[in-house]
Amino acid sequence: MDFDLILRVYPFFLEAAWVTIQLSVYSIALGLACGALGAAARLSRSKPARAAGAVYVSVIRGTPALIQLFILYFGGPQIGIQLDAFEAGVIGLGVNIGAYMTETMRGAIIAVDKGQGEAARTLGMSRAQAMRKVILPQAARLMIRPLGVNINAQIKGTALVAAISVVELTYTAQRYIGSTYKPFEMFFLAGVIYLVIIYATGLGISYLDRKAALR
Amino acid sequence: MSKPFVDIRHAAKKFGELEVLHDISMQIGKGEIVAIIGPSGSGKSTLLRAINDLDPLSSGEVWLEDMQVNKALPPRQYEKHINQVRQDIGMVFQHFNLFPHLTVRGNITLAPKMLKGISDAEANALAEEQLKRVGLLERIDYYPSQLSGGQKQRVAIARALAMKPKVMLFDEATSALDPELVEEVNQVMKQLAEEHMTMIIVTHEMGFAESVCDRVVFMDGGYVVEEGPPEVLFRNPSHERTRNFLRKHLQGQS
């Protein structure tokens, strides 16, 4: 292992890691929004909304994320969608993880005891009021851990956007291999940085989960 | 009986082919306390849950005073209507269904604050008043998980009472409790009886039904088999099915 090389290049990798973090944060934020909308659609009383939610989830989960990114980035201009690589990465990854988050959120909401909604409705609350004040606060606690799993997957998933030449961690590793011919060191370094990001995120999620735990 | 307070007219309920309620009519007077007893699957809980439309009827009507509870309205209007009507119908569940993320205070004040537009101070006073009634004022800042089953159920009763309902429905309110905790809940219900709250009580506790209720209704297989004052229904039932049920029940208890 060439440690001198690693010491020489790691500042550039840290810069790239910052791009990875930005990609992660933006795409996760978008994913949470898509997930909330998707879950609302799938649990809606309106049949078209339920159908739309179901199509979203099955299309996105039924196709490779890489293909989705390619369609958006390379195919987009053909249908009038012009995005730079970073934008396409955020949107593609966000919409992708949103489908998984839809299912996570829906699962947490339907896991709240049916009696909770009944008790709220019996007191005279509307469906929306019962959802907001009684069901969602309980579902939110239930979804922290599984959303953490989605988030973990998403951070690693950002490596895919190397394929549409976003200069993030994986792309940077590949680029330095081109000039150094040291794939072991370069991928090893990238891997360590991913590990640190994911470990820190995991700590944050555990903290949230503990804080939200029922007394 | 004078004009009925709760009036169930030809209530019927089907789940697909299965008929769980067959053409049931029942009138309950203001201040009357009615127990509904019967084997599991007899339809007694379904009937109770039809009164506030938690389990909508397939046909038939439920009236509370001059208001039809299950009025035929377009969905949006019906939502408004039923949410309004439910404020007048308190309900207590077998498994309490307290909101675990809220304190006792939060459980009691949530709906009145949200639906009656009262201030925090008023809501707090209301919570304190209702908790005094069930003897749990000192638990006002506890979470449900810190309470015993009996205490949870008393809080659930206080929560329902805080909406100032005209009638209270009890769906096997003591069935999930350890035997030694049943009495404290029964005491609260007795006290409500003394205050002339109109109550409809689905129960397995014949002793309680006998000592507190004005009338007992025996249901089996989705029919009202017989009804009458407790001393008649328990001591001298006229139907074979009632006798069988009571005999089995007493054996089960001894």
Helix (H), strand (E) at residue A188: helix A183-212
Residue A104 and residue B128: Cα distance in Å, rounded? 39
Contact B149, B178 (CB under 8 A): yes
Residue B56 and residue A167: Cα distance in Å, rounded? 59
Q: How far is B91 from chain A (nearest CA, A)?
A: 7
The arithmetic mean of pLDDT across residues B37-49, rounded, is 92
CA angle A63, A67, A70 (to 5 degrees): 155
Residue type, A170: T
Residue type, B162: A
CATH of the domain at A101: 1.10.3720.10
Q: Is the pLDDT reported for residue A3 higher than 60?
A: yes
User: Taking CB atoms and an 8 Å limit, are A125 and B89 in contact across chains?
Assistant: no
Query: Residue A198 burial by CB count (10 A; 0-12/13-18/19+): exposed, middle or buried?
Result: middle
Q: Is the pLDDT reported for residue A200 higher than 70?
A: yes
Q: Is the pLDDT reported for residue A109 higher than 90?
A: yes
Q: How far is B19 from chain A (nearest CA, A)?
A: 23
* Model pLDDT for residues B106-162, shown as the tens digit of each residue: 999 999 999 998 999 999 999 999 999 999 999 999 999 999 999 999 999 999 999
Q: Which value does ipTM take for this structure?
A: 0.91
CA-wise closest residue to B53 among B74, B34, B69, B77: B69
* Model pLDDT for residues A38-87, shown as the tens digit of each residue: 999 999 999 999 999 999 999 999 999 999 999 999 999 999 999 999 99
Please name the residues in contact with B77: beta carbons below 8 A apart, sequence gap of 6 or more.
Answer: none
Please name the residues in contact with B53: beta carbons below 8 A apart, sequence gap of 6 or more.
Answer: B62, B69, B70, B82, B85, B86
The arithmetic mean of pLDDT across residues A118-139, rounded, is 95
Angle between helices A169-180 and A183-212 (to 10 degrees): 160
* Model pLDDT for residues B87-103, shown as the tens digit of each residue: 999 999 999 999 999 99
Residue B98 and residue B144: Cα distance in Å, rounded? 7
Quote the pLDDT of residue B254. 45
Q: Which of B82, B91, B99, B139 would you mutate first to test chain A, the one with the most A CBs within 10 A? A: B99
- Beta bridge partners of residue B28, listed in sequence order: B6
- A21 phi/psi in degrees, rounded to 5: -65, -40
What b/e readout covers A68-87, taking b as 16+ CB neighbours within 10 angstroms? bbbbbbeebeeeeeebebbb
Residue numbers in A near B103 (CB within 8 A): none
Residue B129 and residue B135: Cα distance in Å, rounded? 10
Of B95, B97, B145, nearest to A214 by CB-CB distance is B145
Q: How far is A140 from chain B (nearest CA, A)?
A: 11
Quote the pLDDT of residue A213. 78
Three-state DSSP class for A132? helix
Residue numbers in B near A141 (CB within 8 A): 101
Q: Is the pLDDT reported for residue A185 higher than 60?
A: yes
pLDDT band at B252 (very low <50, low <70, confident <90, very high): low
CA B203 to each of CA A33, B169, B170, B189: distance values in angstroms, whole numbers, following the listed order: 46, 11, 8, 12
> Of all residues in chain A, what percent carry a pLDDT higher than 90?
83
Residue A19 and residue A86: Cα distance in Å, rounded? 9
Supply B113's token pair.
Answer: 């604050």
Q: Is the pLDDT reported for residue B82 higher than 80?
A: yes
N- to C-terminal Cα separation, chain A: 50
Q: Which of A44, A123, A144 would you mutate first to test chain B, the one with the most B CBs within 10 A? A: A123
The arithmetic mean of pLDDT across residues B62-87, rounded, is 92
Contact B104, B154 (CB under 8 A): no
Q: How many domains does chain A have?
A: 1
Contact A84, A76 (CB under 8 A): no
- With CA atoms as reference, the chain A residue closest to B160 would be A123
Q: Is the pLDDT reported for residue B2 higher than 80?
A: no
Residue A58 and residue A64: Cα distance in Å, rounded? 12
CA-wise closest residue to B220 among B11, B24, B17: B24
Q: How far is B251 from chain A (nearest CA, A)?
A: 32
Domain boundaries, position A78: 3-214
What is the DSSP track for B80-136? HHHHHHHTTEEEE-TT----TTS-HHHHHHHHHHHHH---HHHHHHHHHHHHHHTT-
Q: Is the pLDDT reported for residue B10 higher than 50?
A: yes
Average pLDDT, chain B: 92
The arithmetic mean of pLDDT across residues B234-249, rounded, is 89
CA-wise closest residue to A142 among A98, A109, A165, A103: A109
The arithmetic mean of pLDDT across residues A118-142, rounded, is 95
User: Taking CB atoms and an 8 Å limit, are B111 and A123 in contact across chains?
Assistant: yes
Q: Is the pLDDT reported for residue A215 higher than 90?
A: no
This prediction has a pTM of: 0.87
